[in-house]
Every structure is written in structure tokens, then in C-alpha cells.
Amino acid sequence: MKRIALVTGANKGLGLETARQLGAKEITVLMASRNKERGMEAVKKLKAEGLDVEFVQLEATNESDIQVLKQHIEAKYGKLDILVNNAGIMHKDEPLGSNTSESISIETLKLTFDVNFFSVVNLTHALMPLLKKSDAGRIINLSSILGSNTVQSDTDSPYYSVKPFAYDASKAAINSFTVHLAAALQGTNVKVNSAHPGWVKTDLGTEGAPMEVVDGAKTSVSLSLTEETDFSGKFIHMGEEVAW
């Protein structure tokens, strides 16, 4: 039976490329997008490439959308093998080269955590019964090196001056979720890891980024593959561990 993957935020950027690369591995990919028109267009593009993909509606902060999606996957496929928690935001109030810890509003902080953290935990909890039905379930949480407190506290780090607080804190929280969930899932068939895709040319990363999207997706794809990932509770970039 084919493996089934769900990729959130799959209508563009890293999500779209992750779906493309997973589809090329003969995996059925459910491409989640909150915008139906953009999501359908992305699916059409990958179907034209001969890939087995399907559009699914998901506003990750909407509990109803999560439950409808869970019921759809259960009814149609009976399991979920791969969950790539890719969707995320950096709020417009957080310029990439700034330190917003003194100026960030509670509203911006809450919105960033709603999308980048709480919705990820909620979706993962909802889909866990389906992941446990997989012979080899894989959960990939998209993080960032900016969420590494080791890196952020190193004055010699090239990232030391890059401190959009809400974004960084939400990714640090995601890393904590990965560590705790991996421990909870010890002894099961489900493994969970955090992925740092790199600084990639996306809407979030901007055109000034050094990495192309095709390379940025490689870490998530590798962590999705049973034959490449026999570990859990790690923070990975291109096959190498990143400090928490």
C-alpha cells in the first residue's frame, strides 16, 4: 500500500517543493492550503508532472478544518504515514534583521504562536491515531536555526543579530515539542524530528537567501523517508544535527 503524506502550507514555497519531492518518491501527498484557489492551482501543477497529489482544505488555526481533514484521511486512506508541519509565518512587524524583544506587541506574539506552535500541536494531536496506524510514521516539524537558543546566545554566530522574537520563540517552542513528543513516542512506530531547511529563497526568506527552494525541501523529505530516518527527537539540517 502506498505511503500517505500530509504537507501543510503546500500551495507555494517549501511546502510545494516538499510535496513535489515526496510525490516523486511514489508517495500520495495531501497538499493542505488555507486558500482553496491557490491550493488547487498547486495541485494541478504537480498532477501535470504525473504526481499523485490531492488538495485538502486547512486553515491550521481552525478546529473544524482539522476535524474535517482527520475524518477525510481516516475514511479514504485509513492511516497517515507522514506529517510535515510546514506552514508558518513571520509577522510583518518583525523585520528579519531586528531584535523585537522590547517592542513586540502581545497581539503579534499571540498570532505568531497560534500559527507556528499551537496549531501544529493541535493538528499533530488530532492526527496521531492515524500516524500510529502506519508501519513507520514520521512527523517533521519545520523549525529554524533561529529557534536554536544555543545559536542565539552565541555572540560569534552569524545569526546573533537576527532576533525577530515572536518567530524565534515560536520555533524554539516547536523544538521543545519535538523533544517531548519523541520521548512520549518511544517504543512506537512513530518518529518525530525538527527540520531546519536553511535560509531559502521563499516569501519568508526573501530573494536575498543563498539557498534555492529545491535544496531547502531536502531535509524535510529525508526525514520523511523510512530508509533514511531511524532516529527520533533530533534537530536536523541536510543530514547534520543542529544544536538545540
Using pLDDT thresholds of 50, 70 and 90, give the confidence band for residue 97: confident
Question: Could you report the per-residue pLDDT of 3-40, keeping only the tens digit for each?
Answer: 999 999 999 999 999 999 999 999 999 999 999 999 99
Closest alpha carbon to 55 in 35, 75, 71: 35
CB atoms within 10 A of CB 28: 20
Which one is catalytic: 36, 44, 163, 171?
A: 171
What does the DSSP 8-state code read for residue 199?
A: S
Which is nearest to 30 in space by CA: 64, 70, 62, 63? 70
Length of the chain measured in residues = 244
Q: Where are the beta strands (DSSP E) in the chain?
A: 4-7, 28-33, 53-57, 82-85, 137-142, 190-195, 235-237, 240-241
SS (H, E, C) 86-153: CCCCCCCCCCCCCECCCCCCHHHHHHHHHHHHHHHHHHHHHHHHHHCCCCCEEEEEECCHHHCHHHHC
**pLDDT digits 0-9 by tens, 116-155:** 999 999 999 999 999 999 999 999 999 999 999 999 999 9
pLDDT at 181 over 70: yes
Q: Specify the pLDDT at position 206.
A: 52
pLDDT of residue 204: 57
| Mean pLDDT for the chain overall | 94
Q: Which of 163, 167, 201, 218 is catalytic?
A: 167
Statement: residue 109 has pLDDT above 90: yes
> Catalytic site residue 76?
no
Q: What pLDDT sits at residue 207?
A: 55
Nearest to 13 by CA among 243, 230, 209, 187: 209
Cell readout for 82 is: 507522514
Q: What pLDDT does residue 9 have?
A: 96
What's the pLDDT band for 211 if we cut at 50, 70, 90? low
How many other β-carbons are positioned within 10 Å of the β-carbon of residue 67? 11
Domain 4-241 annotated CATH 3.40.50.720: yes
Q: Specify the pLDDT at position 1.
A: 82
The pLDDT of residue 116 is 98
Asked about 167 being catalytic, the answer comes back as yes
* Whole-angstrom distance, CA of residue 1 vs CA of residue 6: 16
pLDDT given for residue 107 in this prediction: 97
Q: Crossing angle, helix 165-184 and helix 119-131, to 10 degrees?
A: 20
* pLDDT at residue 180 is higher than 90: yes
Is this prediction's pTM over 0.75?
A: yes
Domain range summary for the chain, segments of one domain joined by +: 4-241
Return d(Cα 49, Cα 21) in angstroms, integer. Answer: 11
